[in-house]
Chain A
Amino acid sequence: MSTTFLPCGEYHQSYNEDHAWWQTKFIKCKMVLMMLVLFIGIPYVSDSYWLSVCNQIGYTVLGALGVQLLIGFCGQVTLGHAAFIAVGAYTSTLLILEFPWPKFLLDLGLAYPISILIAAIVAGIWSVLFGLPSAKVKGFYLILTTMAAQFITVDFVITQYISQIGGRGQAFSLPPGTIKIGPWVINSDLKVYYMMLVLVILLTALVVNLLRSRVGRAWVAIRDNDISAEVMGINVVQYKLMAFFVAGFIGGVAGAFWISNLAAISPEHFPWFWSLWLVGVILIGGVGSIHGTIFGSIFMVVVMELLQMAVIPLASSYPKLLMDFLFIKEAAFGLAICAFMIFEPNGLAYRWWQAKNYFNLWPFSY
């Protein structure tokens, strides 16, 4: 189970040691250092622009985590995850805007956190609803039903019905000051950044812990061969639906988190493109790896930002280019997916693993 390299002569003496997250002092130091960099280093050195890039990365991680859980660990391919993110975002927004919150909750700043939780649960249930066909179909057919989830949820239910609630027209805008956690009003990139960091760490920990439990092992068994899993006594349908619930839950949190960064939410924020983008992120990062989710998110967001930076100087000579950047981005994304699938199907996480192994085993690299 354990993939950590230990120094010579050190052995695990109990299961708890074997399953521990941070097994050596070196790793502990490394993780503490990483936390310091994340919580203090990055906000200290980066300006508002780079913080917003970090927030974008965090949002992508949150969204892709659910996709990774479904595709990478449970083998249920989903091409409609943006629908569940949208459900989370809209539930949270509607709760904040329309629900008659008691005064003391508003004063304590609990309205938004509670709405995040409810949004996540609603998104999870919605996800289970569209996961139900997985009891009967799999592979390509399941892809089609998740696509249907996207079109039905975003293009029909949300656009035609949910958006009409309250007569605000297409976009829901949140008045400033409504998004408040405890005493802090989330109104700057820095605050969004800290919130993102806490959520990403919490949810990553949740997923990693689930994966080391009985539930996670059942998911992996279903991914590897669902018939064998059933023969071994795993209730396949129940565990698949559980995977859909957890994935939807995470998606809901992602959506509810992202409204803090958007001035107004509308169905255009959750297009089919975004679902495919999330799948592309985990494919580029590496399927079946939590590291991969994070690497993929960083890679995609940063590469797109760099692409944009490269386009801006060119734009002075070709003004059309700036307007067409969205299309270039789409085409580049498509090519990146194709290239990764053809030349590096294991993703960035595999490269990371190779590099780590090289240094761990050095100088005897065999």
Chain B
Amino acid sequence: MDLFLMTLTTGIMVGGIYALVALGWVLIYKCSGVLNLAMGEMTLIGAYVTLSFYAMGVPFLLSLLFSLVIGFILGILTERIFLDRLIGQPVLTVIMVTVGLSFFFKGTLEFIWGTDTRVFAPPVFSIEPFRIGQIVIGQVYLWSFLAAMILLVVFVCFFKYTRWGLAMQATADDEMAALSLGVSARYVYAAAWAIAFMAAGVGGTLLGNINGLNISVGYLGLLVLPVVVLGGLNSVPGAILGGIIIGVLQNFCGAYLDRYFPGGVKEIAPFAFMAVFLLWKPFGIWGWERIERV
């Protein structure tokens, strides 16, 4: 029973981070219809930038802030240079450009920071675990979850109450109508990429705090794909729920199935689950079902 509860809590906590990254993904898809496969590398960029500042002696929160600023700039640049020219192109073209971007980012990252695992030193969060009754949770997980939740709330408020957020929602809903009401779609796309970069950066920093940072953290960024498929490609609540479900599922598979299938069940389970889930409910929990006509 202890194992069950602990796995559940850890899963929910990690799932919160996935939800944060998935939110950025969904945002890009909703606003500009781009299916982004470079999310893993975007998490890595944010994480490495934070780590570099932190290693220079900048306080953690300040370095996170710097990484947000850099993520913002990179997001706008990426949209301006690469994605802006592709509006109206076939899906495969756009997807492959994001794949190209992911290679470009990855190669550059490896070139700059190498492939060794780096850790946040001194540790940002204390190693002393946190106890609630019988459940023991690492502080990293708890704080990461809290940070992810706070950011999720901030993002949701941003969409609901600010002018920019409303403009983005309008563009996502109906681009034509938004354009005719004076919303600049180009600014909205750029803003969507900037926010996605920032969200991914925070997610990557938190993930990097858990197990140390190397290129394979980018693989965790790929987990965003099962998450969004589960929740529905264009649903923000779906991304949050999907993130938590995938986090829990992954940890349960790690805890219970590892005995029967030794090795990487934990890494594979979300993708296997996704492949089966797609057959059953291809539009996710809250995604829009698309009806096709000839």
Flag if B225 contacts A330 (CB, 8 Å): no
B129 on the A face (CB < 8 A): no
Tell me the residues in window 326-357 of chain A with beta carbons closer than 8 Å to chain B beta carbons.
326-338, 341-342, 345
* One of A130, A136, A279, A327 near B282 (C-beta < 8 A): A136
Rounded to whole angstroms, the CA-CA distance of A155 and B266 in the bound complex is 11
Flag if B294 contacts A327 (CB, 8 Å): no
Interface size in chain B (residues, C-beta < 8 A): 44
Residues of A within 8 A of B264 (CB): 155-156, 159-160
Flag if A333 contacts B103 (CB, 8 Å): yes
Flag if A140 contacts B99 (CB, 8 Å): no
> Known contacts A141-B229, A148-B272; is A225 also within 8 Å of B107 by CB?
no
B279 on the A face (CB < 8 A): yes
Closest 4 CB pairs of A and B: A331-B107, A334-B103, A334-B104, A337-B100
Residues of A within 8 A of B262 (CB): 160
Question: A331: nearest residue on chain B (CB-CB)?
Answer: B107
Residues of A within 8 A of B282 (CB): 136-137, 141
- Shortest beta-carbon distance from B30 to chain A in Å: 14
Rounded to whole angstroms, the CA-CA distance of A287 and B99 in the bound complex is 16
Flag if B97 contacts A324 (CB, 8 Å): no
Tell me the residues in window 241-258 of chain B with beta carbons closer than 8 Å to chain A beta carbons.
none
* One of B86, B229, B268, B274 near A156 (C-beta < 8 A): B268
Residues of A within 8 A of B294 (CB): 225, 227-228, 231
B180 on the A face (CB < 8 A): no
Question: A71: nearest residue on chain B (CB-CB)?
Answer: B92
A sample of 14 cross-chain residue pairs with beta-carbon separation below 8 angstroms, ordered by A number, consists of A133-B278, A139-B91, A141-B278, A145-B278, A152-B275, A156-B264, A156-B265, A159-B264, A227-B292, A279-B99, A330-B110, A334-B100, A338-B104, A341-B97
Rounded to whole angstroms, the CA-CA distance of A333 and B91 in the bound complex is 20
- Shortest beta-carbon distance from A157 to chain B in Å: 9
B267 on the A face (CB < 8 A): yes
Q: Mark A137-169, 1 if CB is under 8 A from B, else 0.
A: 101110111011101100110011000000000
A66 on the B face (CB < 8 A): no
Question: B215: nearest residue on chain A (CB-CB)?
Answer: A327
Residues of A within 8 A of B35 (CB): 140, 143
Residues of B within 8 A of A77 (CB): 92, 95
- Shortest beta-carbon distance from A97 to chain B in Å: 22
Residues of B within 8 A of A136 (CB): 278-279, 282
Flag if B261 contacts A160 (CB, 8 Å): yes
A283 on the B face (CB < 8 A): yes
Rounded to whole angstroms, the CA-CA distance of A175 and B278 in the bound complex is 43
Residues of A within 8 A of B108 (CB): 327, 331
* One of B82, B102, B225 near A342 (C-beta < 8 A): B82
By a beta-carbon cutoff of 8 Å, the part of chain A in contact with chain B is: 71, 77, 79, 130, 132-133, 136-137, 139-141, 143-145, 147-149, 151-152, 155-156, 159-160, 225, 227-228, 231, 273, 276, 279-280, 283, 287, 324, 326-338, 341-342, 345
Residues of B within 8 A of A332 (CB): 107
Flag if B99 contacts A335 (CB, 8 Å): no
- Describe A's contact surface by its main secondary structure: helix
B161 on the A face (CB < 8 A): no
Q: Mark B158-185, 1 if CB is under 8 A from A, else 0.
A: 0000000000000000000000000000
Flag if A337 contacts B278 (CB, 8 Å): no
* One of B111, B229, B261, B268 near A144 (C-beta < 8 A): B229
* One of B100, B267, B272 near A341 (C-beta < 8 A): B100
Instruction: Indicate the member of B89, B102, B103 with the most A CB atoms within 10 Å.
Output: B103
Flag if B91 contacts A137 (CB, 8 Å): no
Rounded to whole angstroms, the CA-CA distance of A133 and B89 in the bound complex is 25
Question: B41: nearest residue on chain A (CB-CB)?
Answer: A334
Residues of B within 8 A of A334 (CB): 99-107
Residues of A within 8 A of B93 (CB): 341, 345
> Known contacts A77-B92, A327-B107; is A151 also within 8 Å of B100 by CB?
no
Rounded to whole angstroms, the CA-CA distance of A132 and B110 in the bound complex is 37
* One of A79, A159, A327, A345 near B110 (C-beta < 8 A): A327
Rounded to whole angstroms, the CA-CA distance of A283 and B103 in the bound complex is 15
Rounded to whole angstroms, the CA-CA distance of A151 and B220 in the bound complex is 13
B259 on the A face (CB < 8 A): no
- Shortest beta-carbon distance from B25 to chain A in Å: 12
Flag if B107 contacts A330 (CB, 8 Å): yes
Instruction: Indicate the member of A227, A329, A334 with the most B CB atoms within 10 Å.
Output: A334
Flag if A324 contacts B263 (CB, 8 Å): no
Instruction: Indicate the member of A231, A329, A331 with the most B CB atoms within 10 Å.
Output: A331
B153 on the A face (CB < 8 A): no
Residues of A within 8 A of B274 (CB): 144-145, 148
Residues of B within 8 A of A331 (CB): 103-104, 106-108, 111
> Known contacts A160-B262, A279-B99; is A342 also within 8 Å of B278 by CB?
no
Rounded to whole angstroms, the CA-CA distance of A362 and B104 in the bound complex is 41
B150 on the A face (CB < 8 A): no
Question: A157: nearest residue on chain B (CB-CB)?
Answer: B268
Flag if B91 contacts A140 (CB, 8 Å): yes
Residues of B within 8 A of A143 (CB): 35, 95
Flag if A152 contacts B272 (CB, 8 Å): yes
Residues of B within 8 A of A283 (CB): 96
Flag if B82 contacts A160 (CB, 8 Å): no
B85 on the A face (CB < 8 A): yes
Rounded to whole angstroms, the CA-CA distance of A159 and B226 in the bound complex is 22
B271 on the A face (CB < 8 A): yes
* One of B89, B226, B272 near A345 (C-beta < 8 A): B89
